[in-house]
Amino acid sequence: MTKVFHEKDGNLDFLKGKTIGIIGYGNQGRAQALNLRDSDQVVIIGNRDDIYKERAILDGFETYTISEATKKSDILFLLISDEIMTDVLKKEIKPYLEKKHKLVFASGYTIAFDLLKTPSFVDVLLIAPRMIGVGVREKYLTNEGFYSFISIHNDASGKTQETLLALCKALGTLKKGAIEVTFKQEAVLDLFNEQAFGPAFGQVLLNSIYTLIDAGYPPEAVLVEMYMSEEMAYTYEKMSKIGLVKQTNLHSNTSQYGAMSRGIKYQKLPFKRIMKKILENIESGSFAKEWDSKITKAKYKIIKFFAMKTKINRLEKMVRENLKLKEFDFEELSKPAAKDILQELESIKEEIKAFEDFFYEY
């Protein structure tokens, strides 16, 4: 049986006298720091000298450099981006680690795929919220809590489990439930959702949209019907609260019959075969290796550029204007592809062309 921990399983006494250092005051960092402080914990912040640090000061926290915060803390929450975790840990944290330290990760990625090594004399824990930072804070304030995946990678002190559950309680995740997994399982589940379900769902949505638009339906009505009304968001919420199939009872009989009788037409599509390949690629560490390489970073920039130039973005712009909705501009995304990026990708130019064609279609 998978272990799931709740409020009664955590005891805050295990955190008495401990200072918690939050490394990185970003999305998760800010939310988790505020939750821990509201649960009467002593919290300090370690961040580079920039706007995030200013935010922490405005929120009333004592802030330090990452190395200083490491020295002053007993428990360190590593809430910096996964891409720079290895580098920051090596240069700014590892040299100051002592036996007293416990390292808490919010993602199993770097440990699961051997991108960093932690010293054997420190406890290494995972508390990975299944929730964006803003939600971690909101669900704490509303007392609902949020799910987390939790794990212990190294139990040097022999008391890591008690600390882990106490921290979960202070963060507010035990109100909903903390589910025990391994670091690798957490990382794979996260990547699989992003790489298998996410893009498949995107393709289903885009194909639905263009089937209707090509048949002459007004774009405003199509986009509202497919996602802008937020009806799908409600349905998703009901799936989680009532059940994937059971929630269909909230829809009309016509809707239920239509959906259930037509679902069978998709039965033979090779979703599972493609998804199994994606899963194997993640589990074997091939994806982590690919993402870690220099050429992939350049490839990512150019793919993102193509994606931002797709037809749906132009269509949305027109629809949003007509519906009097705010337009969000992500400046760096609209910059033209720099020639030097393309030069870097000369060796994989056919692959890049395939991405350009793929995004051009939509």
Binding site for ligand NDP (CB under 6 A): 24-29, 47-48, 50, 52, 79-82, 84, 88, 106-107, 128-129, 132-133
Distance of alpha carbon 313 from alpha carbon 330, whole angstroms: 12
Tell me how far, at minimum, the Cβ of 26 lies from ligand NDP, in Å.
2
Would you say 291 or 355 has its CB closer to ligand NDP? 291
Which are the contacts of 290, defined by CB distance < 8 A and separation ≥ 6? 296
Tell me how far, at minimum, the Cβ of 128 lies from ligand NDP, in Å.
5
Asked if 152 and 160 touch (Cβ cutoff 8 Å), the reply is yes
CA 314 to chain centre: 27
Tell me how far, at minimum, the Cβ of 283 lies from ligand NDP, in Å.
18
Tell me, what amino acid is at 14? F
Distance of alpha carbon 158 from alpha carbon 168, whole angstroms: 18
Would you say 18 or 55 has its CB closer to ligand NDP? 55
Phi, psi of 149 (to 5 degrees): -100, 130
Would you say 194 or 357 has its CB closer to ligand NDP? 194
Would you say 9 or 82 has its CB closer to ligand NDP? 82
Read off the DSSP letter of residue 1.
-
Would you say 21 or 29 has its CB closer to ligand NDP? 29
Tell me how far, at minimum, the Cβ of 78 lies from ligand NDP, in Å.
7
- What would the two tokens of residue 87 be? 């580098």
Tell me, what amino acid is at 36? L
Tell me how far, at minimum, the Cβ of 335 lies from ligand NDP, in Å.
20
Would you say 22 or 302 has its CB closer to ligand NDP? 22
Would you say 26 or 119 has its CB closer to ligand NDP? 26
Tell me how far, at minimum, the Cβ of 23 lies from ligand NDP, in Å.
8
Cα angle 276, 281, 285 (rounded to 5 degrees) comes to 140
CA separation, residue 89 to residues 4, 28, 56, 139, 266 (Å): 30, 18, 21, 30, 47
Tell me how far, at minimum, the Cβ of 197 lies from ligand NDP, in Å.
16
- What would the two tokens of residue 55 be? 């935010």
Distance of alpha carbon 145 from alpha carbon 35, whole angstroms: 11
Distance of alpha carbon 296 from alpha carbon 300, whole angstroms: 6
Tell me how far, at minimum, the Cβ of 113 lies from ligand NDP, in Å.
13
Would you say 122 or 312 has its CB closer to ligand NDP? 122
Q: Which helix (H) or strand (E) holds 64?
A: strand 62-64
Does residue 207 sit in helix, strand or coil? helix
Asked if 77 and 104 touch (Cβ cutoff 8 Å), the reply is yes
Tell me how far, at minimum, the Cβ of 54 lies from ligand NDP, in Å.
9
Phi, psi of 124 (to 5 degrees): -130, 120
Would you say 27 or 296 has its CB closer to ligand NDP? 27
Asked if 21 and 156 touch (Cβ cutoff 8 Å), the reply is no
